């Protein structure tokens, strides 16, 4: 910022306003442009590709400046906000022509990444959440709102891990904090690269009190106060559409942390980062934007309560059983616009005439939707039907007031129907009569002068005029008109009579435009009284839309209704991965059974790469998710318990942003399961331990399997290439081996993609390399090396067997062969380690403590 020198009153006003919004680009209204100055101009010109100029060009202190036309400002604002900036919009609050001295200006709104309400068609099915955090000791008050829909929720989170997961799940672009949030907590947020805004002081109002009335926790009230104050401070307008805050508990839903959601590709394709190829993509047959948003919310928070799941299932079944009614229902839903966001626009004062017509058209579909639902309902929709309210009063208001083809702007007139307001009709009649008079005057003057191309025109500078081409000037009688303007090819004239009519016409037009705007604002205020009913209707229509989407997908994909059981068992007959089958085609996919009775908790899966182990694991998780959101599932028959959490470690990927290796990410994700899983959880571990040395990895994999088996008792699918682990079924009673079949014939490998009992006989790694197209010479060399290694391994195993026969080890000593070289005299230190292993109470250790102790022992045993 330049050194202070004497500045114009306008620049002093600019700097005063800018001082209040130092973290935002200030769009300062000057006539038909929004101008930026100083650093805002330099940075804004670069980002928005604008021409950078200077103010006070001849002064010692030149002021950088750039500007954008006010009518096109929204595109520039969107660009800045999309790149993570705030924009403060400073408007002229009075007519410059009427201002005495400096024009009064004020910031009317601050647009931020978390408060955008104008979304395009591509983002219609996306929520834009603004989040807030307030900390007390190790607990976090957490709240989030979608300003465009009025949704408002709060919770108490008990750890930074849960906080991080909520922020990632909501995909928030902005988080509001106060001075209670510690530096340690900020280290959790910083890597997410989201905007952090500060709001320390709270502002209590009728709107905030209403929104918080059902929240009784001090911690949640504190965070809601900061969030709502920030919204009031930035939006500077009514927030009457904000709904009452709803308390939620993350533990009230099936917990799927962000890493597991990513591994399962529920919402985002890992390869492309897009929706295509995800479970959301498969399920999304919704017809409304609000239905699309609710589907996403259901996928992020599957249910835990059997009664609620069964209600959704019953509704889906009713819709499935009524094909023709369901098809008509889909047609009607197609004509329903985004009721949630239309109600939000009414409250925020951004609604226009076309928006109100969309609202009217949407509400006109509701009686038809209600009727269709009554023909479908077998009792399951009874409660939902009571909430599907046509809000007929709003339809009547809009139908009487708004013309059939209104303009985009609400300040330019031509918005209100004739017959709605008597005073407006008088003005419009005067305008019509005046224009008829003008048409008659033009015809009369043409006849009187004999000039056929004489015309009466209008512009904003001179008003109405009579225009005569220069070629016809000689035909004009002397002194008939008063000369007003000379053009290249014509002359323009006026008459006293014309100016008198001009005053009448323009006076009526200006009054009509002003009155139309006042009538529109009054209409908008009347519709505000119905916002709560509109929001309840929107939520009910969204639920119905998601349920019909489930019915359509279940019918198209041949899904079945799963049976819910309170027993700790899984029984899936001919199940499949729904997304993979949709991409591959039904004829290409091989279905598989998954059977895990109460006494079987772990399936150890072996088989070659590319054979389908990961797909087999993911299909179980997706089947669980589908079950607990109330949809039918991909199988011929399915019986499932209610799971409380899903943990996955599938796929290998470095955390480049966090600077962590594949192995570290693998261990962290595995540790989440080992720390938090219960016997009612589902765990999917794919190739745990492959990121480190062979024996390290094998030792870790076995230790993890044993810990899950002996301590957690969760249903677990564990795939591995460590064939040595397949012997665990001899000692672990709740573990069984299965493998994905493959056939080798004449050096060619064929995957069967069928899961069969027992372990795989070998890994077929070289065959997979061949399928990948590696050079023949390389493959031949690998085959020879493999043969040599197998001969060495066979020889070593025979020697080992002979030695073991002679030494006759005790059964409890046999597991130590994984770590101790055969027939090598043990040092005192190594004997001490073996003693520690025998005495260690591994079951009572935490998973990380057990792994650390294992590494310590291994290191000591390797020392000579």
Please enumerate, by residue number, every residue annotated as part of a binding site for ATP: 607-614
Tokens of 356: 């109100």
Q: Which two tokens stand for residue 473?
A: 């000037």
DSSP E strands in 6-57: the ranges are 24-30, 33-37, 53-55
- Residue 362, token pair as written in the block: 């949407």
Binding-site members are 607-614
CB 273 within 8 A of CB 528: no
- Using CA atoms, how far residue 490 sits from 446, 484, 515, in Å, is 16, 11, 37
Q: Nearest-CA neighbor of 132 among 221, 205, 31? A: 221
Q: With b meaning 16 or more CB within 10 Å and e meaning fewer, what string describes 490-524? A: bbbbbbeebeebbeebbebbebbeebbbebbeebb
Query: What is the rounded distance in angstroms from the CA atom of residue 80 to the CA atom of residue 87?
Result: 7
Residue 726 exposed, middle or buried by CB count within 10 Å (0-12, 13-18, 19+):
middle
What whole-number distance in Å separates Cα of residue 611 and Cα of residue 653? Answer: 20
What SS3 state is found at 688?
coil
Strands laid side by side in the 463-469 sheet? 455-459, 463-469, 490-494, 482-486
CA angle 841, 842, 845 (to 5 degrees): 100
Residue among 708, 768, 724, 439 nearest 606 (CA): 724
Q: What angle do CA 167, 171, 174 make, to 5 degrees?
A: 75
Q: Are strands 748-757 and 255-256 parallel, antiparallel or unpaired?
A: unpaired
Residue 235, φ and ψ in degrees, nearest 5: -90, -30
DSSP 102-169: SPPEEEEEEE-TTS-----GGGTT----EEEEEEETTEEEEEEEETTTTEEEEEEE-SHHHHHHHHHH
Least Cα distance to 456 among 448, 472, 445 occurs for 445
Q: Which residues of 317-330 are buried (b: 16+ CB within 10 A; e: fewer)?
A: bbbbebeebbebbb
By CB atoms closer than 10 A (0-12, 13-18, 19+), residue 484 is middle
Answer yes or no: are the C-beta atoms of 248 and 143 closer than 8 Å.
no
Q: What is the DSSP secondary structure assignment for residue 723, as one 8-state letter?
A: G
Closest by CA to 342, choosing from 333, 354, 331, 334, is: 354
Question: CA 284 to CA 307: how far, in whole Å?
Answer: 24
- Give the three-class secondary structure for 608: coil
Pure H helices in 321-411: 323-334, 339-348, 353-376, 382-387, 392-401
Relative orientation angle of helices 662-676 and 694-707, to the nearest 10 degrees: 10
């Amino acid at each position: 910022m330049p050194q202070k020198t004497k500045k114009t009153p306008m620049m002093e006003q600019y700097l005063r306003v800018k001082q209040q919004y130092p973290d935002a680009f200030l769009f300062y209204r000057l006539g038909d442009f929004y101008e930026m100055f100083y650093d805002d101009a330099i940075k804004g010109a670069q980002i928005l590709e604008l021409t950078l100029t200077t103010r006070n060009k001849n002064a010692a202190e030149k002021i950088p400046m750039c500007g954008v036309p006010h009518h096109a400002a929204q595109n520039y604002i969107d660009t800045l906000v999309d790149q993570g900036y705030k924009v403060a919009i400073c408007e002229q609050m009075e007519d410059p022509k009427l201002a005495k001295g400096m024009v009064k200006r004020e910031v009317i709104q601050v647009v931020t990444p978390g408060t955008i309400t104008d979304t395009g068609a591509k983002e219609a099915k996306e929520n834009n959440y603004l989040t807030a955090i307030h900390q007390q000791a190790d607990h976090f008050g957490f709240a989030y709102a979608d300003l465009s829909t009025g949704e408002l929720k709060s919770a108490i989170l008990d750890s930074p891990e849960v906080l991080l997961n909520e922020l990632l799940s909501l995909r928030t672009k902005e988080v509001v904090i106060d001075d209670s949030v510690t530096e340690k907590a900020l280290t959790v947020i910083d890597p997410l690269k989201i905007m952090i805004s500060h709001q320390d002081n709270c502002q209590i109002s009728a709107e905030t009190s209403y929104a918080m009335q059902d929240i009784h926790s001090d911690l949640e009230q504190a965070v809601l106060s900061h969030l709502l104050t920030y919204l009031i401070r930035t939006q500077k307008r009514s927030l009457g559409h904000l709904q009452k805050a709803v308390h939620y508990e993350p533990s009230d839903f099936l917990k799927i942390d962000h890493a597991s959601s990513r591994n399962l590709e529920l919402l985002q394709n890992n390869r492309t980062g897009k929706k295509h190829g995800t479970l959301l993509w498969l399920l999304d047959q919704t017809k409304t934007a609000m239905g699309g948003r609710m589907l996403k919310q259901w996928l992020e928070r599957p249910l835990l309560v059997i009664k609620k799941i069964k209600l959704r299932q019953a509704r889906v079944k009713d819709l499935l059983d009524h094909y023709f009614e369901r098809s008509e229902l889909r047609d009607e839903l197609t004509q329903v616009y985004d009721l949630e966001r239309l109600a939000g626009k009414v409250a925020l004062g951004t609604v226009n005439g076309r928006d109100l017509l969309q609202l009217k058209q949407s509400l006109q579909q509701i009686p038809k939707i209600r009727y269709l639902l009554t023909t479908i309902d077998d009792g399951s929709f009874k409660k939902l039907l009571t909430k599907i309210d046509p809000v007929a009063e709003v339809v009547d208001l809009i139908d009487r007031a708004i013309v059939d083809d209104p303009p985009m702007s609400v300040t330019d007139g031509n918005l209100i129907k004739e017959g709605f307001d008597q005073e407006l009709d008088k003005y419009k009649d005067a305008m019509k009569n005046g224009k008829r008079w003008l048409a008659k005057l033009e015809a009369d003057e043409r006849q009187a002068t004999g000039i056929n191309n004489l015309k009466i025109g209008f512009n904003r500078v001179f008003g109405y005029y009579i225009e005569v081409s220069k070629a016809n000037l000689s035909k004009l009688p002397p002194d008939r008109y008063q000369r007003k303007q000379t053009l290249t090819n014509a002359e323009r004239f006026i008459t006293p009579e014309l100016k008198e009519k001009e005053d009448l016409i323009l006076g009526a037009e200006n009054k009509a435009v002003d009155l139309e705007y006042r009538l529109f604002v009054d209409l908008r205020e009347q519709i505000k009284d119905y916002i709560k009913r509109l929001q309840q209707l929107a939520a009910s229509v969204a639920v119905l839309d998601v349920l019909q989407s489930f019915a359509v997908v279940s019918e198209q994909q041949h899904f079945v209704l799963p049976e819910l059981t309170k027993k700790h068992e899984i029984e899936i007959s001919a199940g499949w991965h729904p997304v993979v089958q949709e991409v591959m085609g039904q004829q290409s996919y091989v279905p598989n059974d998954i059977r895990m009775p109460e006494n079987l908790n772990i399936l150890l899966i072996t088989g070659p790469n590319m054979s389908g182990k990961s797909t087999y694991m993911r299909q179980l998780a997706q089947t669980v998710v589908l079950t607990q959101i109330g949809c039918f599932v991909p199988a011929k028959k399915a019986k499932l318990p209610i799971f409380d959490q899903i943990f996955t470690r599938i796929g290998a990927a470095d955390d480049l942003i966090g600077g962590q290796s594949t192995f570290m990410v693998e261990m962290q994700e595995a540790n989440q399961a080992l720390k938090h899983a219960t016997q009612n959880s589902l765990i999917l571990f794919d190739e745990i331990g492959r990121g480190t040395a062979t024996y390290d990895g094998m030792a870790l994999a076995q230790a993890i399997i044993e810990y899950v088996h002996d301590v957690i008792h969760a249903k677990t699918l564990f795939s591995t290439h460590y064939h040595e682990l397949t012997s665990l079924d001899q000692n672990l009673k709740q573990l069984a081996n299965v493998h994905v079949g493959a056939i080798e014939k004449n050096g060619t490998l064929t995957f069967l993609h069928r899961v069969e009992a027992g372990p795989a006989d070998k890994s077929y790694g070289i065959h997979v390399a061949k399928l990948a197209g590696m050079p023949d010479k390389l493959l031949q060399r690998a085959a020879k090396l493999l043969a040599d290694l197998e001969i060495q391994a066979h020889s070593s195993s025979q020697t080992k067997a002979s030695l073991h026969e002679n030494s006759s080890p005790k059964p409890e000593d046999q597991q130590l062969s994984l770590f101790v070289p055969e027939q090598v005299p043990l040092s005192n230190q190594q004997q001490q380690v073996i003693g520690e292993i025998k005495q260690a109470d591994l079951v009572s250790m935490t998973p990380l403590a057990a792994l650390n102790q294992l590494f310590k022992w291994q290191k000591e045993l390797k020392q000579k």
